[in-house]
Amino acid sequence: MPQKAWSDKRERQYEHIKEGLRERGRDEDAAEEIAARTVNKERARAGEAEQSSRTSTEDISSGRRGGLRSHRGPGGRTRDQLYNEARDKNVKGRSKMNKAELERAVGR
């Protein structure tokens, strides 16, 4: 789905996003659509697109959104990530807690 209007940088970005989605189990068509939408939104935000919707330019960037959602995939954060957060919050008894208990203890 790469378009001639895209720069070399955007072509690389499209391929990188598409490959990442394929590695995470998305089918080819879905990966292509998500990658194209992401690149087009980034082009709009950067002023590279001739037309852009208000949500494309005013909404939070795709990279930031991915960062915000990075701990919410299947299974959420790992036990080690939860343990480290519990340690930072000085949760007592954290070494004996399982993942579900750590999730409750850190409050997310």
pTM here is 0.54
> Long-range contact list for 41-45, CB < 8 A, 24+ apart?
42/10, 42/13, 43/6, 43/10
Print pLDDT tens along the chain (108 aa): 555 678 899 999 999 999 999 998 989 999 999 999 989 888 888 888 777 777 777 777 777 777 666 665 556 778 888 999 999 999 999 999 999 899 899 885
CA–CA distance, 101 with 80 (Å, rounded to integer): 13
